[in-house]
Structure 1
Amino acid sequence: MSPSDFQFLADLLKTRSGLILSADKGYLVESRLLPIARKRGLNTLDALVAVLRRKDEAAVREVVEAMTTNESFFFRDNTPFDIFKSHVLPHLLAARAASKRIRIWSAAASTGQEAYSLAMLLAEQKAALAGWRIEIVGTDLSADVLARARAGLYTQFEVQRGLPIQMLVKHFKKEGDQWRISPELRDVVQFREFNLLDNFSGLGRFDIVFCRNVLIYFDQTTKAAVLERLVKIMPEDGSLFLGAAETVLGLTNRLRPVKDRRGLYEPVPVAQAMLA
């Protein structure tokens, strides 16, 4: 791929998804985009970029989805789920006792494992949550991965990655050589197509947001903008989970880390943020 075509692709991905494509990612471009080129009867990536330059929206969407699709697995990095179960959920059960409503957002949900992991943890609290309205919203910009998430059908390899055997037996049913998650859990989660670069106001407010391993792909300006928008859709006692390699330091004074809770952040009241 010529340098000018690589730069065009990098600019396109940043504009459409926020993804920063560095010059050392040539191998990633080839592995993910050559299959798209061949499917379209094109022999080279330069030919595919020529199609993108003509503003072929279907091709643009396919390329953006291919480059931004990341792996996911059940209970990935157990710590956030342990904190959710032992710290965040008990707080919300007390704080939302009057409204009996909790909304959770799994941003960049990919094929749904994170959202369904949360649904399984909530299912363990079935007695305590009787009469409550629990809503989990999983979003991603890729229509393909969201279709898989809605189906809730996973391979043997996927259910072996992080999913305790007792949860597999309890919440999944074997279908041929794959496993489908129960209708009860699929009903708890709704999946929507959404781009984190867009306005968040149409999503409503969330008590808990999981936005893990996403900001690492953005530049500093985009990271800060996403975090600022996240604060606006969370209550003052809301909880934000970021990935282990992510931080809010130097990006916003509207969020602060929760002591001894790795990856967990809470909103800073506006008055305090103005004094910081």
Structure 2
Amino acid sequence: MRKEDFELLTGILRERSGLVLSEDKVYLLESRLTPIARKKGMETLDDLINEVRLRRKEELLSEITEAMTTNESFFFRDNTPFDLFKEDVLPGLLESRANTRRLRIWCAAASTGQEPYSLAIILKEMESQMPGWQIDIIGTDISNQVLDKARAGVYSQFEVQRGLPIKLLMKYFTQAGEMWQISDEIRKMVTYRPFNLLDSFTPLGTFDVIYCRNVLIYFEQATKSKVLDRLRDQLPVDGTLFLGAAETVLGLSEKFKPVSGKRGMYNTSDHALLKAG
């Protein structure tokens, strides 16, 4: 791929999604965008690039962005963030939110839904401990394609084998041929909506817990800082943020502090000060 073509495509991605690709990711562009070119009856990826350069049609730019921002996901990915939620975060929230009996969780970049559904399963398993509680789990992603799959809640044998305990598979899924359908009771606990992390977070409202895992690693430093600061604005003083294992707030934001010994878990700075006091 020519340098000017690479810069054209990566510039579009950076502007529309915040995604930053280094030059060693040319193969990723080629592998994900070539199918789009073929679907549109073009012979080569160069034809697609020329079409983008000449016309910059919104529909085509959206398809390119979706193709490049679709990331894999699986149930209870990395385990630790889910164990920490159940064992460290939830007990405190059940106590501090006892009057309102409402819990709001945001899974940013929810992809095909395994993360929010994993949280829904945890909460469903604990429903006897929280009678009468209103649970709102919001899953967002920039890609409408993955959100459609998430809403359907239908997964392949391979997808349900990745991280999902057999006991929970048999309890909350029904097999349909070679696919597995998640139960309506779990599916109805999650609301999905398209959302770009470069947009204003205000319409989403506030949350008690935010999962924004394995997203920031694709952003530039300045964008990471802006996203983190705006995530803080959506949390109360005792809110919790979960990032991916390879991500950090250090050097990016003063509004969060890592929780000692709890990998990927962050309290708001105000909360950390209160606990220290």
1:36-115 pair list within 5 angstroms: 36-53=36-53, 54-115=55-116
Count of residue pairs the alignment pairs up? 272
2:161 & 2:200 partners in 1: Cα distance? 36
Verify the 8 A CA contact 1:19 1:68 in the aligned structure 2: yes
Q: Does 1:185 align with 2:195?
A: no
1:180 & 1:39 partners in 2: Cα distance? 29
Number of the residue aligned with 1:16:
16
1:46 & 1:230 partners in 2: Cα distance? 39
RMSD: 1.2
1:201-212 pair list within 5 angstroms: 201-212=202-213
Task: Give identity over the alignment, percent.
Answer: 59
1:148 Cα deviation after fit = 0.3
- Deviation digits for residues 255-275 of structure 1 (CA, Å, limit 9, x no counterpart): 0001111100011129x7xxx
1:36 & 1:213 partners in 2: Cα distance? 25
1:43 Cα deviation after fit = 1.7
- The alignment's TM-score, normalised by the length of structure 2, stands at 0.96
- Deviation digits for residues 133-157 of structure 1 (CA, Å, limit 9, x no counterpart): 0000000000000000000000000
- Deviation digits for residues 165-186 of structure 1 (CA, Å, limit 9, x no counterpart): 0000000011111000000011
Name the SS of the counterpart of 1:213 in structure 2: coil
Unaligned runs of 5+ in 2: none
- Deviation digits for residues 227-259 of structure 1 (CA, Å, limit 9, x no counterpart): 010000100000000000000000010100011
1:174 & 1:158 partners in 2: Cα distance? 13
Name the SS of the counterpart of 1:269 in structure 2: helix
1:171 & 1:52 partners in 2: Cα distance? 44
Number of the residue aligned with 1:195:
196
1:1-276 pair list within 5 angstroms: 1-53=1-53, 54-269=55-270
Verify the 8 A CA contact 1:2 1:46 in the aligned structure 2: no
1:46 Cα deviation after fit = 2.0
Letter in 2 for 1:239: T
Letter in 2 for 1:217: Y
Name the SS of the counterpart of 1:266 in structure 2: strand
Name the SS of the counterpart of 1:209 in structure 2: strand
Name the SS of the counterpart of 1:138 in structure 2: strand
Verify the 8 A CA contact 1:136 1:189 in the aligned structure 2: yes
Query: Moved runs in structure 1, 4+ residues, more than 6 A?
Result: none
Verify the 8 A CA contact 1:10 1:21 in the aligned structure 2: yes
1:78 Cα deviation after fit = 0.5
Letter in 2 for 1:98: N
Name the SS of the counterpart of 2:75 in structure 1: coil
- Deviation digits for residues 110-161 of structure 1 (CA, Å, limit 9, x no counterpart): 0000000000000111111210000000000000000000000000000000
Letter in 2 for 1:4: E
